[in-house]
Structure 1
Amino acid sequence: MALELTAAGESEILAAALRTYLSETRFAFTGLTGKEATLCITRAVAGWAKASGWRSRWEAPMRYIDPPRQMNGGCRIYWSPPWSAYLDLRLVRKEGPPVAVEIDREDDSTAVDKLRDEALRGRPALWIRWHGALRAELPAGVARLHLPTRSSRSPVRCSLTPVTSAAAIALGEAVTPEVRADALHRDQQRIAEEKHAAALPRGLGPIRC
């Protein structure tokens, strides 16, 4: 079935489509470690992409829009944040821009920053959040699908009951044309600064203290 865009943006449409897929396939798991649960969810999202006729790229590289700053760590100088990062999944479609996907069990991650920049570039951005309390504010253009899980004590094992059509979806504001134009301009500036940084002579390595 073709998906129609709404004023809330394509991220919302895709989050709802993923929720429907998980509900129809009765997606669930029991007794998994945190790492195993994340992998299980990632495979389910990749399955949704395959069923939609898309390709999935795992650990897909991406670039932040704003350039990092050189930081003095005492014994070494480093870039913060780094020039590049990785998305859990990038879903490549024949029509339309690729979809950025991050899958996390906590809010304490770089997912928000990565998805924010992908959304500013005009790409749908989905955050699959499971377990833990939801505290992070969603940036413009990002949709979050929440999959609540239960966990046992020592050893910690996580379980998810079959996903239903009531699974919560939260949305950031729409990205305005003005904000997107400014982001794309800053992105071009970042590309130029990255090329300049790459052309600088390489140092001799970190200073040992």
Structure 2
Amino acid sequence: MAFEPTAAGESETLATALRAYLSKTRFTFTGLTGKETTRCITRAVAEWAKASGWRIRCEAPMRYIDPPRALGAGCRICWSPPWSAYLDFRLVRKDGPPVALEIDRAEDSTAVDKLRDEALRGHPALWVRWHGALRAELPAGVARLHLPARSSRSPVRYSLAPVTGTAAITLGEAVTPKARADALHRDQQRIAEEKRAAALPRDGGPIRCP
């Protein structure tokens, strides 16, 4: 079944629902390393998804929309954008398209690019961003929930006060029908490029970079 392009409103609604869940459960943590913090937030998001009755796919594979370009020469060729990527979560719902969700500390990560392409496909896209200032503009269809964790000096440890209903939510504009149609066209180009590259000779041919 084909879904219409998602409005930014659905992504915002999901961000608001997650914020409400974290507020209700008084989500907080103290003295965690960066990896521990990510795992802690990941568990909380998974619990919210389960409480909502959704199936969870962790490290779910996704495909960038833009066809890759071959970079380099000789026997080794790299592809940009990468051939594959993974979402932290894909939340599968019975009553709507799956939700793409990323959890990240860094502002300059690939999360924005992945969520942008998922939103262009008509999927609600939610970015749970923790720690640091917010600078990046959000693509259409993407909502961001900010968890303002604080850090200590060496050794670096992160803490978060209990989440409240005032945690910041930012969102991009709605995905337009024109943008959706253009994305579908580029997506088909990418699929064709993947098939062409897959048919290249294995021995002595280009090598894909991870």
Give me the TM-score of the superposition, normalised by structure 2.
0.91
* Structure 1 contact 129–146 (Cα < 8 Å) conserved: yes
Runs of 4+ residues deviating >6 angstroms: none
Tell me, in whole angstroms, the C-alpha distance in 2 between the residues paired with 1:79 and 1:92: 30
Aligned AA for 2:89?
Answer: L
CA distance in 2, matches of 1:104, 1:84: 19
| 2:193 aligned partner | 193
Q: CA RMSD in A?
A: 1.8
Asked if the contact 2:8–2:143 (Cα under 8 Å) also holds between the matched residues in 1, the reply is no
SS at the partner of 2:109? coil
Residue 132 of structure 2: aligned partner:
132
* Count of equivalent residues: 202
TM-score (norm 1): 0.92
Tell me which residue corresponds to 1:33.
33
Q: Could you tell me how far apart the structure 2 residues matched to 1:52 and 1:85 are? A: 26
Q: Deviations over 1:161-195 (max 9, x none)?
A: 11000000001011011111111121112111111
Q: Matched residues in 1 for 2:58 and 2:170: separation? A: 24
Distance verdict in 2 for CA 1:205–1:74, change over 3 Å: closer
Counterpart in the other structure of 2:72: 72
- The answer as to whether partners of 1:118 and 1:124 remain within 8 angstroms in 2 is yes
Tell me the distance in 2 between the aligned counterparts of 1:55 and 1:149: 28
Asked if 1:60 corresponds to 2:60, the answer is yes
Conserved? CA contact 2:64–2:85, under 8 Å: yes
The one-character-per-residue Cα deviations of 1:67-117 (angstroms, maximum 9, x if unpaired) are 111111787311122111000111111121100001111111100100000
Asked whether the equivalents of residues 62 and 86 of structure 1 are also in contact (C-alpha less than 8 Å), the reply is yes
The residue aligned with 1:10 is 10
> Is contact 1:106-1:133 (8 Å) kept?
no
- Partner secondary structure for residue 115 of structure 1: helix
- For the 8 Å contact 2:90–2:101, the answer to whether it is kept is yes
Shift of residue 8, structure 1, vs aligned partner: 4.1
Give the gaps of 5 or more residues in structure 2: 1-5
Q: For residues 25-83 of structure 1, give each alpha carbon's deviation from its aligned partner in whole angstroms, at most 9, with x where no partner exists.
A: 00111111001101111111111000000011111100000011111178731112211
